[in-house]
Amino acid sequence: MRGEMRRRGIGVLVASLVAGLAWGQEVSVYGTTMAQVWKSEVPGFDTKTFTPATQFLGIDATKLGTENLSLHLYGWGTSDLGYVKASGAKADGDLTYGYLDYRFDRANAEIKAGRFAINQGGGFEQVDGVSARTDLRGGFTISAFGGTPVLYRPDDPAASKDYGYQRDLIFGARLGWRWKQVGEFGVSYLQDGKDAAKDLTPAQPVDYTRKQMGADIHLMPTAAVDFSGRTIFDLASHPDTPAGVEKPSDIAEHDYTVRVKLPGQFAVTGNFAERNYYAYFAGTTLPSLFRQDDRDKFRGYGANVSWGAASGLQVVGDYRHTHRETYGDTTQFGGEVRWVPAEKFLTGFGAHRVNATREVVVDPMHPSYSLTHTEARAWAMYGTEKITASADAIVQKYQDKTNPNLNGQAWLYELVASVGYQVMPSLKVSGDLGYGKTALAKNEAKGLLRAEYRFGFGRKGGR
């Protein structure tokens, strides 16, 4: 019943939004049509060929009766001539967003209604509902949203029977204070679902609801120092901790980064992150994978040094160490180069080494295996007004061929080459060819044809 109402609601939403186009003074229609084909050779299995066709479509209409009102729609649909999903379905699609947006002339105030993504403080959510924001005097800013969460039900209905029932509404707010030329501080709240699983009648074993509070900060007191980060608290009501078991922390995440610009176009960046999975994974729709009951903790820190030359050369060296209590330590280091050797030509190179703890398995013959590996990548792009071309190669060399996930292969790679032609200002066609070796497929060849078009009044600036 609820699912039927939701489908009707989305139908009414899309119909209303499309009807709104009639009032649009400036309408942009843009999209990408893709036809893919890929062939996979997996030892011991038949060679398989997949042929999906996908359409992405977006519409932006501005000045809907007034200068300040606009409409934005974006979604995709796909169908496969040969491919069948795990559920048996051969077609799929999604309305990514579809909303009316009213921007006020003052205070950067804005109201959105429809389906939209909300990103404030610690949460990135997709919502069917309403959001509003405005700047206040004294540097304060406030935003809030409310509605129903966009539910992405898994193909298997049995895996989601409590999912929509518990997540009956979503709302949140953020209050920020901006210190001109220095930074911003914010506190935010997010709630998804009214009642925790343990408070329902009867109580449910899996909790899909969330209550979170976040604190975020950005400081740039001088042009040379930039500090940003956030802390997220889990406010959800969890079942009582069994006797003798330590009560987990309510702090879900600390994540902070500081960047210092040095003379000579050098910059040094440091990051620290800590996550408590019991709190951080609250509300997951995949509890079998994102396990709260492990009471696991993660800590990571790293640094990188970058140098950018006026000649279009950018060099980054990075290091990162992570520790997960139930797994162990991992150290990653390497470097990347981006270079513009000539006008219309852009290229990049990178290599990283990852040293990881051995994975322990229950096998007396082979009690552990290593995930240590090295990765290298090189790419280049060239573009004129009419022609574009690019090539991208990535290779991974795993240290331990006895890792059962590698099926005896240590070297894995993928090469992708692309050529495009701008047929007219509003239409570009391009094609990608890819070839690679994966741990599962001995050989994998891929082809993709792409037609990108944009009609009407495009946005200025970027895209």
Partner 1 sequence: MARKMMFRVFAVVLGLGLLTACGVVSPESSFAATHPQELGAGRPMCSECHGDEVMKGSLKRYGAFDHTPEFVKDHRFLAGQDANSCAVCHAPSFCSDCHGGKVVMKPATKLGDRPDRMSPHRGDYMTLHRFEGKADPSSCFQCHGRANNDKCRVCHQ
**Closer to partner 1 by Cβ: residue 23 or 76:** 76
Least distance in Å: CB of 250 to partner 1?
Answer: 6
**Closer to partner 1 by Cβ: residue 202 or 435:** 435
Does residue 154 have a cis peptide bond before it, meaning omega lies within 30 degrees of 0?
no
**Closer to partner 1 by Cβ: residue 51 or 269:** 269
Sign of the dihedral defined by the CA atoms of residues 402, 406, 409, 413, in that order: negative
Question: Around Cβ 91, how many Cβ atoms within 10 Å?
Answer: 11
**Closer to partner 1 by Cβ: residue 18 or 337:** 337
Write phi, then psi, for 178 (nearest 5 degrees). -105, 125
Least distance in Å: CB of 330 to partner 1?
Answer: 5
Could you tell me which of 267, 360, 346, 279 has the C-alpha nearest to residue 313? Answer: 346
- Separation of alpha carbons 370 and 400, rounded Å: 6
**Closer to partner 1 by Cβ: residue 155 or 202:** 155
**Closer to partner 1 by Cβ: residue 11 or 328:** 328
Least distance in Å: CB of 16 to partner 1?
Answer: 19
Least distance in Å: CB of 5 to partner 1?
Answer: 19
Could you tell me which of 257, 379, 372, 275 has the C-alpha nearest to residue 318? Answer: 257
Instruction: Give the burial class of 92: count Cβ atoms within 10 A of its Cβ; 0-12 exposed, 13-18 middle, 19 or more buried.
Output: middle
- Separation of alpha carbons 13 and 22, rounded Å: 15
Least distance in Å: CB of 416 to partner 1?
Answer: 5
**Closer to partner 1 by Cβ: residue 21 or 142:** 142
Instruction: Give the burial class of 72: count Cβ atoms within 10 A of its Cβ; 0-12 exposed, 13-18 middle, 19 or more buried.
Output: buried
Query: CA-CA distances (angstroms) from residue 214 to 116, 123, 124, 231, 338?
Result: 21, 9, 12, 6, 35
**Closer to partner 1 by Cβ: residue 202 or 457:** 457
Least distance in Å: CB of 130 to partner 1?
Answer: 15
Least distance in Å: CB of 263 to partner 1?
Answer: 15
Radius of gyration of the chain (CA): 25
Sign of the dihedral defined by the CA atoms of residues 384, 31, 392, 304, in that order: positive
Least distance in Å: CB of 286 to partner 1?
Answer: 5
Instruction: State the residue for tokens 């590996």.
Output: 373
